[in-house]
Structures are given as C-alpha cells and as structure tokens.
Amino acid sequence: MPELPDLEIIREVLAPRLAGQTITDVKVMRPLVVRDLTGTGFERTIAGRVITDVRRRGKLLLLPLRPEMTLAINCKLAGRLQYGDSKARRLGRTHVEFQLSGGRVLRYSDRRSMGQVYLTASVDAIPGWLDMGPEPFDLTLDRFREQLRPFRGEIKGVLTRGRAVAGIGNAYADEICFAARLHPYRKRTSLTDEETVRLFGATQSVLRDAITTLRDRVGTEIHREVRDFLTVHGRGGEACPVCGGTISEIKARRRLTNFCRTCQPGGLISL
C-alpha cells in the first residue's frame, strides 16, 4: 500500500512533469475504480483540462485541473502509477490511462482493483476527506498529544485510521512503533507522557528517513514499491536488528503486523 513516503516521492517526480500539461485523451479500460462525483462523465469532463499541480493529502494523490476540478487517486492496497512514453508496455491490470499534451501518458494500474480514481468539483466530496487528521509534518508535540487524546484503541490502529494523523498505513505504523519501542497493540490510553514523546519523535524521524531513502532508491520509477529497507515490517521470523530476538508476525483482519516482543514489550494493557 503506498503510504505517505511513497506518495511524497510520486508527487515530487510528477509535479514538475505534469504541471501545465493538458489531458488530451482519457481511456478507461476497467471502470471499477472510477468514481465520477460530478455526474458529468469522467472521460468527457477530464479531456481538454490542464493539470495545474500535483499534491498529496494523506494517502491521496491530487491533480488539480483547470477549469476548476480535481482528479484524486487513492491507490489503496495495490494501486500503482506509471508515467512515461505512450508506447511503453502497460503494467498489468491498467485501469485508466491519461494521454498528455507533451506526448507522455499517466496510467493507473491496480492488480486488486481496490483503489479509486475520483473526479470531483470539491475535494470535500471525497469519502473520508473531512475526517482526515493533520499531516504528520504539520504537527508539534503539543498538537500531536491533542490529536491522540480522543482515541482509546490500540496504538497501531490509531496511527493507521487517519483521523488522528494522516498518511500512515500498515507498514510505516509498524516501523514507527518499533522506533518508539512501543508494542503496536498497546492501548493509547496506557501511554505515559514520555512514551507519547517517543511516539511523536518516531513518527517524524521514520517518515522523513523513508522519504530520503525512497528518493534515492526509487528515482523516477514511480511504479516501483521499495520496502526492503524497512526494519521490522515484512520481516517476521527474522532477527531483530537491535536485540537479535525473533521478529513476531501476526495476521489479523487481512493486515500484517510485525514487532519485536523484547524491544516492544507490553501488548494489551487495559485501564
């Protein structure tokens, strides 16, 4: 699942390449992911509009269009974006293709068809938009405390649901909890002030370090997902790089959670 660091790199790559480009043609090969919130016709309404910028909000990639409209892409679990020559081979299960005035194309592929490509006149109409928390890098420690206060559930769930803080998904929640030395299934209400400080610091450092790494590793190949540098996520059964113990792996509700029981003690604590 593309998360904040992945989408930041995609935004960095696409912004200077797409800004000012006119979408000359739109092809919808698999309409399952398309959400036309304007009711005016997805392909007809987009064709001829100019991309003015590329932005990110939470786990959404936003392409503001002129005249006023927004194309919003939520990659969900398996969505990928491909930018390049129109003659380049499409990724498997390409759903939508946008032909650009400069001769290149932007494609959205999704092997699980779980993502959404929205066309909207107002971003407020995008499901979940109004419930989205602030961006991690916009938070101070005091604001972070305030954002966490209403939530009583497990730390990982609080981080990933997007209402306390936007843009964090399954993989980076594991990494943040590990860096903060907090068990992902600890209740938010069980955290001491010192642990909240650690969680805030880990949120900032893990996401910023990941962006730096991905900027170097991904380059302009935005269709690639690079996760082999992660410390614990996806490494169940391997040795913890800190203590040498075995990294635990739990699969529940179609979500993988990895952590070190030694470095992240505790678990479920009821208060």
On whether the CB atoms of residues 1 and 171 are closer than 8 A, the answer is: yes
What is the spatial distance between Cα 158 and Cα 133, in angstroms, rounded to a whole number?
Answer: 11
Judge whether 238 counts as a catalytic residue.
Answer: no
Place of tokens 């293709």: 97
Catalytic residue among 3, 8, 97, 154: 3
What type of residue is 220? T
Backbone angles phi, psi at 203, to 5 degrees: -60, -45
Q: 186: closest CA among 228, 226, 156?
A: 156
Q: Give the single-character DSSP code of 5.
A: H
Judge whether 186 counts as a catalytic residue.
Answer: no
Backbone angles phi, psi at 59, to 5 degrees: -100, 20
What is the spatial distance between Cα 214 and Cα 8, in angstroms, rounded to a whole number?
Answer: 9
Catalytic residue among 2, 5, 64, 136: 2
What is the spatial distance between Cα 197 and Cα 187, in angstroms, rounded to a whole number?
Answer: 16
Place of tokens 């990941």: 210
H or E segment to which residue 253 belongs: none
Catalytic residue among 5, 8, 49, 59: 59
What is the spatial distance between Cα 118 and Cα 71, in angstroms, rounded to a whole number?
Answer: 6
Work out whether strand 116-120 and strand 34-36 pair parallel, antiparallel, or are unpaired. Answer: parallel
Judge whether 261 counts as a catalytic residue.
Answer: no
Catalytic residue among 35, 93, 215, 255: 255
Determine how many CB atoms are found less than 10 A away from the CB of residue 145.
Answer: 16
Judge whether 136 counts as a catalytic residue.
Answer: no
Hey, which residues are catalytic here?
2-3, 59, 255
